[in-house]
Amino acid sequence: MSRFVDPLVVGRVIGEVVDLFVPSVAMAVSYGAKDVSNGCHVKPSMAADQPLVRISGRRNDLYTLLMTDPDAPSPSDPTMREYLHWIVMNIPGGTDATKGDVVVPYMGPQPPVGIHRYVLVLFEQKSRLVDGYASPPADRPYFNTRAFASNHELGLPVAVVYFNSQREPSGNRRRR
């Protein structure tokens, strides 16, 4: 119990979304005033707008950020794994995600059933990807992060963070 287990391993992000990697870039994600840490809980209403994603790294390097939901439509029945929420490419190092090219526009979390994990993965690009526009993923569901990374030769990720989100109870009905 005293051994530290990576929260990404405990939350099964490594294994279901990405492979084991060595984080080399610092990434800070925040929705408004709330900073996102691994496994924290964010309400869908707070995450409706795209977050502020600040990354470190050298200015010459370009990074790709994507956000998926591996628990779509339900954690007990993830038939639509994964559901794509956001792709931004060509982010210069040391800046934030607004400086990159948006390939797939941001969609906020809308978990229908259960508590979903939302994973933000950062890759380092080898070169400027101009053809990101030419081949955006066709659909949001049935996305595969590993396949996307191998298609665009992104390799292993350099930073991953995930948070949980749950459908907010609608209305004010008092269950008794």
Partner 1 sequence: MAAFASTSPSPAISASTWRMESLRAALPALRTSPSAAIGAGLRPRKQAVRLGASASPFLRSSFVSTSSASSSASPSSISSAVSASLAFSYTSSFSVESSFEHRLFGTDVHGRILAMRHGKRIPRLGRPADQRKALLRGLTTQLLKHGRIKTTKPRAKAMRKWVDKMITLAKDGSLHKRRQALGYIYEKHIVHALFAEVPDRYGERPGGYTRIIPTFPRRGDNAPMAYIELV
Positions in the binding site for partner 1 (CB under 8 A): 10-12, 39-41, 71, 74-77, 113-115, 164, 166
Measured from the CB atom, is 6 or 49 closer to partner 1?
6
Residue with Cβ nearer partner 1 (26 or 40): 40
Residue pair 83/140 in contact by the 8 Å Cβ criterion: yes
Closer to partner 1 by Cβ: residue 39 or 93: 39
The residue among 82 and 124 lying less far from partner 1, judged by its C-beta, is: 82
**Smallest distance, partner 1 to C-beta of residue 75, A:** 3
Considering the complex, state which of residue 56 and residue 166 has its C-beta at the smaller distance from partner 1: 166
3-state secondary structure the chain: CCCCCCHHHHCCHHHHCECCCCCCCCEEEEECCEECCCCEECCCCCCCCCCEEEECCCCCCEEEEEEEECCCCECCECCCCCEEEEEEEEEECCCEHHHCEEEECCCCCCCCCCEEEEEEEEEEECCCCCCCCCCCCCCCCCCCHHHHHHHCCCCCCCEEEEEEEECCCCCCCCCC
